[in-house]
Amino acid sequence: MSNEMNKTVFVVDDDVDYIFQLKTMLEKMGFNVITASGQKEAEDIMDTIKPDLIITDLMMENMDSGFVLSHKMKRIFPDVPIIIATALTSETGMSFSLENEDNKNWIKADLYLEKGIRADQLHREINKLLKL
């Protein structure tokens, strides 16, 4: 049995098609998956579960929903890795990086990924963050 079993990934995104694709991909990798379709729903669910890893979109109800949510999640679960997965750069041309020290201070995420990541790449990144 692989280490992925019994690990729960919490996926937050306002795009139901993306949630479905990501949930299917993660379940094939062996993870349990919980989903929320926005910041508000995610905050309600956070009161009832402690995931092993969180993948959140950036722009949901608000332009900065993902930042706000990851900030709140890190306060509740400081040890849980957070991946922000977004199409921000392809949609707006804006980009940011967690390599920048200033950004690290206000972006409470462990990894930033552009949407459209391949399954094998995502699996590697998750395993690194979960130390599997």
User: Is the pLDDT assigned to residue 34 strictly greater than 90?
Assistant: yes
Using pLDDT thresholds of 50, 70 and 90, give the confidence band for residue 94.
low
CATH class assigned to 8-130: alpha beta
Q: Which residues contact 77 (CB under 8 A, 6 or more apart)?
A: 46, 50, 51, 54
Domain boundaries, the chain: 8-130
User: Among candidates 86, 77, 87, which has minimal Cα distance to 111?
Assistant: 86
Q: Give the pLDDT score at 62.
A: 82
Using pLDDT thresholds of 50, 70 and 90, give the confidence band for residue 1.
very low
95-110 tens-digit pLDDT: 555 555 554 555 568 8
Q: Give the pLDDT score at 68.
A: 85
Using pLDDT thresholds of 50, 70 and 90, give the confidence band for residue 120.
very high
- Of residues 43 and 91, the one with the higher pLDDT is 43
Query: Average per-residue pLDDT in the chain?
Result: 84
Distance of alpha carbon 128 from its chain centroid, rounded? 14
Q: Residue 63 is encoded by which pair of tokens?
A: 């332009």
Q: Give the pLDDT score at 32.
A: 96
- List strands edge to edge, sheet with 82-86: 32-36, 8-12, 53-56, 82-86, 111-114
* 3-state helix, strand and coil shares in percent for the chain, rounded to the nearest 5: 40, 15, 40
Question: Within 10 Å of residue 2's Cβ, how many Cβ atoms?
Answer: 11
